């Protein structure tokens, strides 16, 4: 049996419970808990005039009703602005329950606790809230025109004006041989994990302690927030993320009102209380992402090389800014992609609207940035009559330019310096994989079948694994079990498997002996969270360092027992042995036993560590100065800056010119996330990301009406792809290890989704010969575009007679 599992497609260890229905998700916990439900605002913008609960009091099973009036101290204050930033000049957050004003449909106004969820909803139905409606702001353009204000004291609706520049863009544009300017839009989608959010809280009155389970991506920070808001000592609060049914970003924001209100009720009622978010709640009271208006001016030379880029974006942040301006910063800084931009200026105005808050959704601003940059590349190629791949190639950062400094500041406050990559390599592989050079033949063949075929591509660079840090704990028990823990959480990424692979490889133990725990503050109290494709980079490296610490200690102890030099020892398959000397060995579990000098023997193994079991040195204490009992080690990984993964996608679409239905017939991915811990899992992440990318390009959109009512708050009308809508995906890999961390890895979680909108827009434009400047696009919208005499024809269409015209 090998323990060298780094890089192997090891089958997932978490699956054993998940495939037999033994997972433990939030709503599986506390079957006898009281249930919470919320009265939520039916209006997008209104003053709360009155809350009348009289009609609800007679409902059998009602336990408690809470309104803002019941909140005191820190709970009566606004929710935290999690990530303050100097350019976020007008941050606003909501309250755990509305304090006199509601700013989006779905904002919680009243919490009801009852014997079960059915009854709790009955009570909600009978509570009468009187509202005075206020003018509503929906969409970036309405926010920008500022006819009405979301927050009265912010009349221009601008929460932040994020600005970065790498030089003087105006003279650079003026000096450019060519310039072009355009405006484009991208719409709202959402993470939409299959499991909504949820919170379960249990108060132990005798112990004055609180245990909270939350379907979260950040259990340590939820814990800190609960302790602060409910004025509890941190050591009396434990927060556990159980099995989490998907996150994709929405569960990184915290504390959600429910994460505070449910514990508050549990303490007040001295009872277990649980809230399991239902699907409608998830639509109207969690978070969305992606709506932006992008105004772009680019300067370029005759070869298509960019000379200057000026980007002005209006970003819809919804009603509040609890997550700061992370998404705008990520758009601004990741927009640059794999390209050399001699001068770059970006301004992102983050604006308030009376809609659900905007916090990161897989990609977190990157899909928008990629859409801006890649569509710019397409426009340059079109204007010059050049191949779109060639224009990209001419602008790429070359492999000998690393580390490459963009002179920008990333979302972690650190410089955007690309650590490593081979972008021409990506492009070459992509062209081969998708058959880029054969596109015209494919187009002709499709035309014979009466279809319009188009090919598009998009490249990206993704900053992954941002700090500040993560930690790992590795402990070998006397039984031989190896316990591994890290503070960040899991939502299906296979952390139990990949972290075990890392420990097996580093420590030389069978993976069967390793047990991994994530997201449980009882086991590891210091952590940041699972977001930004950071778990493998951050906790992976921290755990590797912890395992190396254990290994070093094990060798030291074993060397002492075996009376050899630690340098002559190795650990193989859980046994410490002298290299090249069969028989001179001791099992790691025995090392663990003797690492902890005992007075009391509680089992056979422990006897070996008791004080009379073996001779010791009379002039040394049993535990050496500076040492500690036990075979364990805690270590942390804190990177100097993010590591930058990269990739390139291409899509081939076929369009029926009678019905304008769009079919993605081929989707190709070339992916580089440095060294890969588990290729099976990385490929699964790519598959899932691409499905969300296709969904975001062709199907998913949050449709608000002018009154701020979400028109499609159900799975019937918010069109997440089924299997029938996801194309087959061809994947090729490239590995340029990161020089920034010991394992040489970069993040992989978000990559698959980033270029989908850009690549598919490019392919549709190529197929129909009309400019695609608003995504996602549906058949009815494509029909509108094609029959509109004013819609812009591409230059390629004009050059290519016979196709692209209206059928």
Which residues inside 611-670 make contact with other proteins, applying CB under 8 A? 658-661
Whose Cβ is closer to other proteins: residue 700's or residue 765's?
700
Shortest spacing between CB 242 and other proteins, in angstroms:
11
DSSP secondary-structure letter at 476? E
733 binds other proteins per the rule CB under 8 A: no
Structure tokens at 566: 């630690």
Looking only at residues 247 through 306 of this chain, which bind other proteins when binding is defined by CB under 8 A?
248, 278-280
Whose Cβ is closer to other proteins: residue 326's or residue 690's?
690
Whether the bond between 274 and the residue before it is cis, its omega within 30 degrees of 0, is no
Alpha-carbon gap, residue 131 to 152, rounded angstroms: 17
User: x/- contact string, 19-58, with other proteins (CB under 8 A)?
Assistant: xxxxxxx-xx--x---------------------------
Whose Cβ is closer to other proteins: residue 245's or residue 337's?
245
SS3 (DSSP) at 45: coil
Give the range of 318-326, 352-360, 722-730, 733-741 binding other proteins by CB under 8 A: 722-730
Alpha-carbon gap, residue 241 to 539, rounded angstroms: 16
Looking only at residues 146 through 205 of this chain, which bind other proteins when binding is defined by CB under 8 A?
191-195
Looking only at residues 539 through 558 of this chain, which bind other proteins when binding is defined by CB under 8 A?
none
Whose Cβ is closer to other proteins: residue 350's or residue 533's?
533
Binder of other proteins out of 512, 725, 732, 792 (CB under 8 A): 725
Shortest spacing between CB 558 and other proteins, in angstroms:
36
Binder of other proteins out of 2, 4, 16, 450 (CB under 8 A): 16
Alpha-carbon gap, residue 646 to 393, rounded angstroms: 15
Shortest spacing between CB 725 and other proteins, in angstroms:
5
Alpha-carbon gap, residue 528 to 220, rounded angstroms: 7
SS3 (DSSP) at 434: helix
Alpha-carbon gap, residue 367 to 750, rounded angstroms: 10
Structure tokens at 289: 């992402």
Whose Cβ is closer to other proteins: residue 204's or residue 278's?
278
Closest-CA residue to 630 (of 539, 733, 553): 553
Residue with tokens 């890649």: 374
Binder of other proteins out of 618, 619, 728, 789 (CB under 8 A): 728
790 binds other proteins per the rule CB under 8 A: no
Whose Cβ is closer to other proteins: residue 23's or residue 435's?
23
SS3 (DSSP) at 447: helix
Shortest spacing between CB 462 and other proteins, in angstroms:
18
Note whether 592 and 552 are within 8 A (CB). Answer: no
Nearest-5° Cα angle at 609, 608 to 615: 85
- What is the SS3 string spanning 448-466? HCCCEEEEEEEEEEEEECC
DSSP notation for 569-583: EEEETTEEEETT-TT
Shortest spacing between CB 322 and other proteins, in angstroms:
23
Looking only at residues 221 through 250 of this chain, which bind other proteins when binding is defined by CB under 8 A?
243-246, 248
Closest-CA residue to 388 (of 763, 773, 786, 29): 763
Give the range of 12-20, 46-54, 476-484, 568-576 binding other proteins by CB under 8 A: 12-20
Q: How far is CA 349 from CA 114, 382, 570, 595, in A?
A: 43, 29, 57, 58
SS3 (DSSP) at 97: coil
Shortest spacing between CB 718 and other proteins, in angstroms:
10
User: x/- contact string, 507-526, with other proteins (CB under 8 A)?
Assistant: --------------------
Shortest spacing between CB 397 and other proteins, in angstroms:
29
Binder of other proteins out of 12, 406, 431, 451 (CB under 8 A): 12
Binder of other proteins out of 398, 711, 739, 806 (CB under 8 A): 711
Whose Cβ is closer to other proteins: residue 20's or residue 152's?
20
Alpha-carbon gap, residue 588 to 552, rounded angstroms: 12
What's the chain's Rg over C-alpha atoms? 28
DSSP secondary-structure letter at 397? P
Shortest spacing between CB 531 and other proteins, in angstroms:
15
Looking only at residues 98 through 117 of this chain, which bind other proteins when binding is defined by CB under 8 A?
116-117
Looking only at residues 669 through 708 of this chain, which bind other proteins when binding is defined by CB under 8 A?
680-681, 683-684, 687-692, 699, 703
Alpha-carbon gap, residue 286 to 323, rounded angstroms: 13
DSSP secondary-structure letter at 245? S
User: x/- contact string, 464-493, with other proteins (CB under 8 A)?
Assistant: ---------------------------xxx
Binder of other proteins out of 204, 628, 739, 783 (CB under 8 A): 783
Note whether 240 and 212 are within 8 A (CB). Answer: yes
User: x/- contact string, 373-392, with other proteins (CB under 8 A)?
Assistant: --------------------
Binder of other proteins out of 778, 791, 792, 795 (CB under 8 A): 778
Binder of other proteins out of 729, 745, 754, 760 (CB under 8 A): 729
Give the range of 49-57, 468-476, 591-599, 775-783 binding other proteins by CB under 8 A: 775-783
Length, in residues, of the chain: 807
Shortest spacing between CB 733 and other proteins, in angstroms:
16
Whose Cβ is closer to other proteins: residue 58's or residue 563's?
58
**How far is Cα of residue 596 from the mean position of the Cα atoms in its chain?**
41
Q: How many residues make contact with other proteins (CB under 8 A)?
A: 77
Shortest spacing between CB 402 and other proteins, in angstroms:
31
712 binds other proteins per the rule CB under 8 A: yes
Looking only at residues 741 through 760 of this chain, which bind other proteins when binding is defined by CB under 8 A?
752
Closest-CA residue to 45 (of 128, 131, 143): 131
Looking only at residues 409 through 448 of this chain, which bind other proteins when binding is defined by CB under 8 A?
none
Looking only at residues 575 through 594 of this chain, which bind other proteins when binding is defined by CB under 8 A?
none
Structure tokens at 632: 């364990």
Alpha-carbon gap, residue 410 to 329, rounded angstroms: 7
Spatial strand order in the sheet of 101-102: 101-102, 46-52, 128-133
Alpha-carbon gap, residue 44 to 48, rounded angstroms: 12
Q: How far is CA 58 from CA 34, 121, 123, in A?
A: 18, 14, 9
125 binds other proteins per the rule CB under 8 A: yes
């Amino acid at each position: 049996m090998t323990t060298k599992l780094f890089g192997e497609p090891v089958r997932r260890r978490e699956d054993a419970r998940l495939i037999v229905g033994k997972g433990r998700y939030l709503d599986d916990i506390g079957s006898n808990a009281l249930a919470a439900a919320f009265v939520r605002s039916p209006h997008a913008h209104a003053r709360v005039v009155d809350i009348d609960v009289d009609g609800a009091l007679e409902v059998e099973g009602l336990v408690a009703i809470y309104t803002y009036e019941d909140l005191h101290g820190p709970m009566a204050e606004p929710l935290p602005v999690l990530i303050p930033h100097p350019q976020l000049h007008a941050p606003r957050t909501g309250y755990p329950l509305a304090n006199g004003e509601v700013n989006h449909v779905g904002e919680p106004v009243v919490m009801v606790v009852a014997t079960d969820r059915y009854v709790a909803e009955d009570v909600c139905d009978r509570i009468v809230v009187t509202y005075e409606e206020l003018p509503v702001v929906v969409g970036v353009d309405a926010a920008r025109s500022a006819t009405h204000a979301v927050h009265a004291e912010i009349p221009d609706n601008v929460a932040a004006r994020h600005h970065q520049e790498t030089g003087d863009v105006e003279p650079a544009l003026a000096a450019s041989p060519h310039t072009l300017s355009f405006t484009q839009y991208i719409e709202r989608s959402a993470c939409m994990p299959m499991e909504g959010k949820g919170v379960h809280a249990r108060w132990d009155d005798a112990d004055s302690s609180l245990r909270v389970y939350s379907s979260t991506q950040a259990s340590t920070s939820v814990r800190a927030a609960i302790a602060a808001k409910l004025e509890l000592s941190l050591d009396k609060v434990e927060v556990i993320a159980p099995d989490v049914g998907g996150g994709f970003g929405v569960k990184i924001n915290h504390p959600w009102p429910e994460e505070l209100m449910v514990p508050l009720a549990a303490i007040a009622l001295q009872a277990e209380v649980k809230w399991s978010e239902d699907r409608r709640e998830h639509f109207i009271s969690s978070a969305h992402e992606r709506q932006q208006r992008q105004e772009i001016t680019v300067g370029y030379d005759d070869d298509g090389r960019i000379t200057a880029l000026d980007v002005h974006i209006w970003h819809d942040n919804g009603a509040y800014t609890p997550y700061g301006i992370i998404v705008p910063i990520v758009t601004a800084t990741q927009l640059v992609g794999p390209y050399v931009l001699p001068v770059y200026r970006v301004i992102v105005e983050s604006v308030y609207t009376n809609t659900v808050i905007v916090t990161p959704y897989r990609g977190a601003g990157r899909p928008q940035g990629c859409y801006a940059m890649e569509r710019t590349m397409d426009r340059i190629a079109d204007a010059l009559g050049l191949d779109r791949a060639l224009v990209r190639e001419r602008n790429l950062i070359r492999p000998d330019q690393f580390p490459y400094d963009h002179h920008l500041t990333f979302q972690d406050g650190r410089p955007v310096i690309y650590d490593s990559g081979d972008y021409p390599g990506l492009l070459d592989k992509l062209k081969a994989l998708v058959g880029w050079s054969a596109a015209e033949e494919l187009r002709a063949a499709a035309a014979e079948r009466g279809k319009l075929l188009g090919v598009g591509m998009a490249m990206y660079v993704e900053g992954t694994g941002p700090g500040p840090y993560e930690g790992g704990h590795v402990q070998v028990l006397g039984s031989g079990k190896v316990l591994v823990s890290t503070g960040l959480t899991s939502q299906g990424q296979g952390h139990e498997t990949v972290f075990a692979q890392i420990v097996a490889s580093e420590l030389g133990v069978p993976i069967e002996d390793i047990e991994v725990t994530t997201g449980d503050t009882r086991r590891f109290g210091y952590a940041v969270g699972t977001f930004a494709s950071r778990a493998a980079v951050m906790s992976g490296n921290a755990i590797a360092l912890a395992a190396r610490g254990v290994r070093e200690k094990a060798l030291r102890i074993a060397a002492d027992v075996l009376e050899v030099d630690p340098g002559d020892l190795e650990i193989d398959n859980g046994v410490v042995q002298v290299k090249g000397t069969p028989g001179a060995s001791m099992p790691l579990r025995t090392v663990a036993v003797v690492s902890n000098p005992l007075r009391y023997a509680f089992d056979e193994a422990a006897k070996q560590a008791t004080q009379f079991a073996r001779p010791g040195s009379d002039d040394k204490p049993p535990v050496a100065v500076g040492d500690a009992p036990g075979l364990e080690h805690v270590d942390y990984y804190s990177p100097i800056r993010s590591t930058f993964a990269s990739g390139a996608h291409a899509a081939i679409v076929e369009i029926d010119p009678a019905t304008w239905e769009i079919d993605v017939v081929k989707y190709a991915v070339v992916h580089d996330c440095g060294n890969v811990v588990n290729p099976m899992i990385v490929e699964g992440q790519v598959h899932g990301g691409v499905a969300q990318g296709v969904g975001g390009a062709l199907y998913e959109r949050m449709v608000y009406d002018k009154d701020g009512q979400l028109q499609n708050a159900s799975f019937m009308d918010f069109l997440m792809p089924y299997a029938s809508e996801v194309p087959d995906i061809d994947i090729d890999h490239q590995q340029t290890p990161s020089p920034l961390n010991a394992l040489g890895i970069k993040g992989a979680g978000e990559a698959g989704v980033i270029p989908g909108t850009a690549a598919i827009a490019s392919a549709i434009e190529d197929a129909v010969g009309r400019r695609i400047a608003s995504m996602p696009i549906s058949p009815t919208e494509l029909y509108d575009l094609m029959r509109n005499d004013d819609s812009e024809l591409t230059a390629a269409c004009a050059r290519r007679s016979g196709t692209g015209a209206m059928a």
